[in-house]
Amino acid sequence: MATTSPDVRRGGRSILERSPAARRADPLFRGILTGLAGLILVLIAFFFVFLINKAEPALSHQGVFSFLFTNDWNPSKAIYGAWPLVAGTLLTAFIALLIGVPVAVAAALFITELAPRRVRGPLVILVELLAAVPSVVYGLWGFFVLIPKLKPAEQWFADTFSFLPLVGGNVAGPNYFIAGLILAIMILPIVSAISREVISTVPADLKEASLALGATRWEMIRMAVLPYSRSGITGAAMLGLGRAIGETIAVTLVIGNSPVLGKQIFDQGYTLAAVIASEFGEAANDRVHAGALIAAGLVLFILTLLINAMARALVRRAENKGTNVKAVPGGLG
Amino acid sequence: MTALGQLTPRRRITDRVMRIVLAIGTAIALIPLIAVIYYLLSKGLGAWSIDLFTKDPTGNFLGDQGGIKSALLGTIEMVALASAIAIPFGWGVALYLVEYGRKGRFASTVRYFVDVMTGVPSIVFGLFVYATLVLSGWGGSSFSGWKGSVALALLMLPVVTRSAEVVLLLVPDALREAALALGTPRWRVTLRVVLPTALPGLVTGSLLAVARAAGETAPLLFTAAAVNGTTFNLGERMNSLPVQIYNDVQSPSDALVQRAWGSALALVTLILLTTLVARLASRRSRLS
């Protein structure tokens, strides 16, 4: 009984069926988008291969281990021992975390748990504004304001606390500490923002429970909020570490760019990123020197990849933990 | 947790002290912001003049140093080209992740690497473009504006992609299902329903990436380099505000240092305006 089918047929196919051209459009569209996504993976793989390839002249000249741990950076004699740069990078990043993370976490806790609702929004915006200031402007400010203004205080600190390791002696204008301080300011917004995100996933019933047991606000923070968000805050600090390690221009302007490893935190120094920025000009015609700078970039690349991968895993785990627990609606907030 | 018992004076004082400590921490976080803004305004505004914005740097050792016209225009040109590359690319990847990939293994891998890419230092992107395009002298001249744009685009790509993905995920599935039920092909659903719905949010995320790219020095330093004159040819060396500031800071001349403050104020103003437009765009969003 073919009663309806002839009516809905047009050129041998149902009107509900798409034309062959229209049918090809969907796979094509999907193909293009998949291609773009795949291109990202290709790009990153290409990054690696290319940087390794270009760093090879220096790495085979010096040896990978010797490149990382020899304390002698002397391009004019073709000696590329990057330890002064590696140590400078680690030291400045460490100072940045030491100063930046407690302040960032304090700000995050204050904004999410203590501040009156009205001032939360404005405070968030103000802290995030720190991220809008470009690196070179921090460098400019550090160079002309921080270095001269802080020098007396640094000298006093160096004289008074000379019993501490890495402290004492004469304070140089540009130094590791200033670089670390600038980095602390630069990582503040990201560490604070992610800590805030993590802290806001702490279930309200946990907080309410601790208050119901008679805890003060601080005790609630110490016993409910902090333990719950510890791994997320660690992740946030590590993201800050990744930023601090790779930050270039601001550090280049305030660290003094001395290839000799300093003896204390108020000495001039160098970092991996700073050496790339300040020596690439002279290295353009020297394959080994250029290779050494690219190798420095490669070290930065690998270091930040590892740190970020770990940090992301920590933050993601912390956030998922938060969303899996059903929060009581209309809780403390 | 065991019950805490009586609120002893000691516990009350600890609570007080810690509240104050946290408030002080927040205040400390704001000191650098206030200090930077104060110095930018007090030193930068004094350096602003008509000449600063209408003259190119002269590069003279002594005498008139000129302004920052070429740097301002160069920044705008290079960031525009970088956006033209990174924004469609990033939106495309985000559309793939949300509309097709979802939770598949390939999509998760891409998502993971995009995440990881956000943490790669900007100087590594610059170095990469330097090693691939500049050293080989691709396209004639070694340093050129478009190579700077490529470096900036690489930097923007993960930021654009991540922010776009977050916004696209907010588009309700009911909207997609309604369109599909009407017989609309998938690609038209994506382009005509999902994309317009998410547009304000997409614009916000992308403009924030633009603002970030505008302030970057490291990727431009050895891709576009610096030059005095204004050029609209992206195949030539191109000046930019951050690189101009970087070079001026390192000069011994007071006039150049003053110009650096003026340029810094101009750069920060540019970035804040872009951020403001981004925030205004997100107000039009009906999502979330």
Domain limits, chain B? 64-283
Query: Could you give the domains of chain A?
Result: 64-322 (1.10.3720.10)
Q: Specify the range with the lowest mean pLDDT, choosing from A14-18, A120-124, A191-195, A243-247.
A: A14-18
The ipTM (two decimal places) reads 0.92
Pick from B39, B43, B96 the residue to mutate for testing the A interface (most A CBs within 10 Å).
B96
Element housing A277 (H / E): helix A272-283
- Determine the Cα–Cα distance for residues A175 and B81; give it in Å rounded to an integer: 37
* Structure token pair of residue B133: 């395009």
pLDDT at res. A166: 85
* Structure token pair of residue B117: 């890419």
Q: Mind telling me how many Å the CA of A263 is from chain B's nearest CA?
A: 25
Q: What is the mean pLDDT of residues B130-149?
A: 84
- Determine the Cα–Cα distance for residues A216 and A224; give it in Å rounded to an integer: 11
Q: Cα-atom radius of gyration of chain B, to the nearest Å?
A: 24
How would residue B288 be classed by pLDDT, with cut points 50, 70 and 90? low
- Determine the Cα–Cα distance for residues B32 and B24; give it in Å rounded to an integer: 14
Say how many C-beta atoms besides its own lie within 10 A of residue B120's C-beta: 22
Decide if B53 contacts B68 (C-beta within 8 A). Answer: yes
Chain A touched by B118 (CB under 8 Å): yes
Pick from B209, B114, B214: nearest CA to A135: B214
pLDDT at res. A191: 95
Chain A touched by B97 (CB under 8 Å): yes
Chain A touched by B91 (CB under 8 Å): no
Looking at the DSSP assignment, which residues form a beta bridge with residue A82? A71
> Looking at the predicted structure, is the pLDDT value of residue B212 above 70?
yes
Scanning B199-218 for CB atoms below 8 A from A yields 211, 214-218
How would residue A112 be classed by pLDDT, with cut points 50, 70 and 90? very high
> Looking at the predicted structure, is the pLDDT value of residue B157 above 80?
yes
CB-based contact A290 B29, cutoff 8 Å? no
- Determine the Cα–Cα distance for residues B247 and B253; give it in Å rounded to an integer: 11
Say how many C-beta atoms besides its own lie within 10 A of residue A16's C-beta: 7
- Determine the Cα–Cα distance for residues B166 and A260; give it in Å rounded to an integer: 46
- Determine the Cα–Cα distance for residues A107 and B21; give it in Å rounded to an integer: 10
CB-based contact B257 A144, cutoff 8 Å? yes
How would residue B138 be classed by pLDDT, with cut points 50, 70 and 90? confident
Partners of A307 on chain B (C-beta within 8 Å) are: 119
Amino acid letter for position B12: R
Q: Specify the range with the lowest mean pLDDT, choosing from A49-53, B15-19, B60-64.
A: B60-64
Decide if A236 contacts A191 (C-beta within 8 A). Answer: yes
Alpha carbon distances (Å) from B268 to A91, A164, A276, B40: 29, 39, 25, 9
Q: Among residues of chain A, what percentage have pLDDT more than 90?
A: 56
> Looking at the predicted structure, is the pLDDT value of residue A241 above 80?
yes
Fold that domain B64-283 belongs to in CATH: MetI-like fold (1.10.3720)
Q: What is the mean pLDDT of residues B134-156?
A: 87
- Determine the Cα–Cα distance for residues A234 and A199; give it in Å rounded to an integer: 12
In sequence order, what DSSP letters do the residues of B120-152 get, joined into one string? Answer: S-HHHHHHHHIIIIITTTTTSSSS-HHHHHHHH
- Determine the Cα–Cα distance for residues B29 and A57; give it in Å rounded to an integer: 45
Pick from B223, B262, B203, B216: nearest CA to B242: B216
Number of H helices, E strands in chain B: 13, 0
Q: pLDDT tens-digit profile of B81-133?
A: 999 999 999 999 999 999 998 888 999 999 988 988 888 999 999 999 988 88
pLDDT at res. B211: 93
Q: What is the mean pLDDT of residues A94-111?
A: 96
- Determine the Cα–Cα distance for residues B9 and B108; give it in Å rounded to an integer: 53
Helix (H, G, I), strand (E, B) or coil at B57: strand
Pick from B86, B96, B91: nearest CA to A32: B96
How would residue B45 be classed by pLDDT, with cut points 50, 70 and 90? very high
pLDDT mean across residues, chain A? 87
Scanning A37-56 for CB atoms below 8 A from B yields 37-41, 43-44, 47, 50-51, 54
